[in-house]
Structure 1
Amino acid sequence: MKVTYFNHSGFLVETENKVLVFDYYSQGKLFDFFDPKSYKGKDIIFFVSHNHSDHFDTRILDWTDEASYVISHDVTLDTAFCGEVLYVKPHETYQFHGLTIETLLSNDEGVAFAVLEDGKAIYHGGDLNWWHWNGESQEFNNEIAKSYQDEILRIKGRKFQVAFIPADLRLQDKYYWATDYFMQEVDADAVFPMHFWGKFEVCRMLKEKPYGDKIIQISKENETFTI
């Protein structure tokens, strides 16, 4: 499969028959990251993990003729929208366009996705993260830890070909905790850091971890990797 990093938590996964676009975010730029006409003959599906503007660029809704949509239940679309939409809730499993889509409950907003497509397993965490803030109370951080661990344990023991996991340097020395726990309890052949707000150095930092050989070194926007 081919994986393209667009921006922030936005990725495209291209398989033999499908183009899966997760949490597209263009930071107000024109659609220079993605052109549906480049994927004629393939099934294009957009995934939206929640309603935050850095995960849901409403301009994706302009492509109803070329694409369909898997959208978290907390996102409200205009009643006039006529595209094909599957609304998803946490802790459910759906069949859609030949995909098996399992959802986890985000400890921020919306859902995380575990997607199976033609034998290929893909994880996109959305804003499900180990949000340990050094300035927060111990009670808050304990609740966050439990909520993250509980969700990841729902997919314990699985192997994903590709996983997209938040690695936010605003969490200071705790930025890698989510990836650590995921790799301890789950596993992935290729791990793409995300939600790092343009701080590409986080990829290099994660490559120094014991699972560093599985971390993909992203260096720029609109960069494509073959997995």
Structure 2
Amino acid sequence: MEIVYLHHSGFAIIANDVTIVIDYFEDSISESQGIIHEELLNRKNRMYVLSSHFHADHFNRQVLEWKNIKNDITYIFSKDIYKRRKAPKDMAIWLNKGDEYKDEHLRIKAFGSTDIGISFIIELEGKTIFHAGDLNNWHWMEESTEAEWKRDERRFLNEIETLSREYSSIDLALFPIDPRLGKEYIRGGKQFINTIHTSAFIPMHFWNDFASANVFQQYAIDNGIKSPFIKCRGQVFKDLL
């Protein structure tokens, strides 16, 4: 199984029988150029397209046009995308927190977020992959009062505690490491891996600030977690799962 980092929070998972695209914002080179358009849409197997919420950096309506290129696509979206009229009701399977989708290839369960929408656990080929969407400790300590950031932190900790009750360990976490949060920007990632045993970790939601993302990579490695340094859009990870 291969993991491809597209851009921002977007990933492709290439498995034996399926391809999964999560939170597509742009392809691996540009909005319409890269591995999705040049290779994966032509792959002869089922494709699943997941979007965690309607924000433009996590959901691009372009994915709906892929149906004109590839027939065997299943769209699995957070329900807020439909509520915001970003996609027709009959186009997708719609999930709220606690809902799940299951077929002969995979199981997907929706968990909570500390912003809009949901996060995903994907069970595929005996592995568990977590994509956080916008679930993070969005503490903004340098801009908020102590009461405000502690309130937001508790909300985050409650969500990952809920996740840990069902999944005390996961094989791969795709999780926000956003340097805009200031000096404590890796706090949420630390709390996540301290709560849930995580075998491998790839950061996301850092735009093009690879240097800041790799600060967490080193922390993860120091704690025995497989976390190769992320260098560029389109990077392929082949040995994490």
- Equivalent pairs, count: 225
* TM-score normalised by the chain length of structure 1: 0.91
**Is the 1:193–1:216 contact (alpha carbons within 8 Å) kept by the matching residues of 2?**
no
| Residue in structure 2 matching 1:60, options 60, 63, 69 | 63
Deviation >4 Å, runs of 4+? 77-82
Matched with 1:167 is 177
C-alpha distance after superposition, 1:133-190 (max 9, x if no partner): 0211223212211111111112225222211000000111211111111111112222
| Identity over aligned pairs, percent | 26
Matched with 1:72 is 78
> Which ranges in structure 2 are unaligned for 5 or more consecutive residues?
none
RMSD across aligned C-alpha pairs, in angstroms? 2.0
Segment of structure 1 superposing worse, 104-113 or 31-40? 31-40
The 3-state SS of whatever aligns with 1:107 is coil
The 3-state SS of whatever aligns with 2:94 is strand
In structure 2, distance between residues paired with 1:104 and 1:170: 24
* TM-score normalised by the chain length of structure 2: 0.86
**Is the 2:102–2:108 contact (alpha carbons within 8 Å) kept by the matching residues of 1?**
yes
> Which ranges in structure 1 are unaligned for 5 or more consecutive residues?
none
Matched with 2:146 is 138
Q: Which amino acid aligns with 2:36?
A: F
| Residue in structure 2 matching 1:154, options 158, 162, 182 | 162
Segment of structure 1 superposing worse, 97-106 or 188-197? 97-106
Query: Which structure: greater helix fraction?
Result: 2
**Is the 2:61–2:86 contact (alpha carbons within 8 Å) kept by the matching residues of 1?**
no
| Residue in structure 2 matching 1:193, options 186, 194, 203 | 203
- The Cα shift of 1:19 comes to 0.9
C-alpha distance after superposition, 1:105-153 (max 9, x if no partner): 1111000001111311010000000001021122321221111111111
1:79-158 → structure 2 map (5 Å cutoff): 83=91, 85-96=92-103, 98-133=105-140, 134-156=142-164, 158=168
Matched with 1:182 is 192
